């Protein structure tokens, strides 16, 4: 379901995105990182001085700590009364509560697709690597790049995976939505694999998607429920 956001958010999209979905320069420089939403806001005077934007940012930083994945669903594990005591305005609570319900439906759909893919490959549940790893130290292969979208369309790139490449690690940000469902995919030997989960515009999240084989051309792709798109940096790992 597409969602419309307030004008300050629209200004951010215009200021920070180009006119088409694009593949970022590959490979990026060694010190290349995607700035966080908060860093982008603070570096844009029109947004930094907008009390509405800053109020939303402060509230979302609190609320997102209470958004949880439970099975294949997303929940906001915080009542309005509890949020009020933490200083959250009701309009931001209501917006987040509605968004979590919408994103939860998209996450359920993505997880059903993952289960169907596993069944088609004859893989039992739990055979894949852990869905999310944000603290592990990866051994990188040198395959690296990034994808950016401006909407809910899927964005795709082709890469060469050297022998021994175990999979692709995606590091994802939503562009404008406080919360979105992301699906990251890789294709090797004609087989697609994917992992899905919740991603915010404030904190990045990593997904590991294993390859079926290496020493070949592969496809990398992602899409998000954020109507204003998102970014996904990717790295091959041994």
pLDDT in tens, 191-216: 899 999 999 888 778 999 999 999 99
Q: Is the predicted pLDDT of residue 28 greater than 50, yes or no? A: no
Q: Which residue has the higher pLDDT, 121 or 110?
A: 110
Lowest mean pLDDT: which of 75-79, 121-125, 202-206? 121-125
The tens digit of pLDDT for each residue in 174-192 reads: 988 999 999 999 999 888 9
Predicted confidence at residue 13, as pLDDT, reads 40
User: DSSP secondary structure string, the chain?
Assistant: ------HHHHHHHHHH--SS-EEPPSSPPTT--PPPHHHHHHT-HHHHT-HHHHHHHHHHHHHGGGEEEETTEEEE---HHHHHHTT--HHHHHHHHHHHHHHHHHHHHHHHHHHHHHHHHTPPTT-SPPS--SS----EEEEEEEEE-SSSS-EEEEEEEPTT--EEEEEEEESS-SEEEEEEEEEETTEEEEEEEEEESSS-EEEEEE-S--SEEEEEEEEES-TT-EEEEEEEE-
């Amino acid at each position: 379901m597409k969602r419309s956001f307030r004008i300050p958010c629209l200004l951010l999209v215009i200021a920070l995105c180009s006119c088409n979905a694009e593949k970022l320069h590959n490979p990026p420089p060694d010190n290349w990182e995607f700035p966080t939403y908060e860093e982008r806001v603070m570096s844009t005077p029109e947004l930094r001085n907008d009390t509405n934007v800053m109020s939303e940012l402060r509230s979302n930083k609190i609320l997102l700590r209470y958004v949880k994945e439970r099975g294949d669903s997303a929940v906001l594990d915080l009542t309005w009364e509890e949020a009020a005591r933490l200083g959250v305005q009701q309009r931001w609570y209501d917006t987040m509560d509605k968004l979590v319900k919408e994103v939860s439906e998209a996450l359920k759909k993505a997880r059903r697709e993952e289960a169907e893919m596993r069944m088609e490959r004859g893989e039992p549940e739990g055979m894949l690597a852990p869905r999310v790893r944000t603290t592990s130290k990866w051994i990188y292969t040198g395959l690296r790049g990034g994808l950016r979208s401006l909407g809910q369309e899927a964005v795709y790139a082709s890469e060469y995976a050297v022998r021994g490449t175990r999979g692709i690690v995606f590091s994802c940000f939503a562009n404008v939505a406080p919360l979105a469902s992301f699906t990251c995919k890789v294709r090797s030997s004609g087989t697609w694999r994917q992992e899905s989960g919740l991603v915010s515009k404030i904190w990045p999240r990593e997904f590991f998607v294993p390859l079926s084989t290496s020493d070949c051309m592969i496809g990398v792709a992602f899409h998000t429920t954020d109507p204003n798109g998102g970014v996904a940096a990717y790295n091959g790992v041994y």
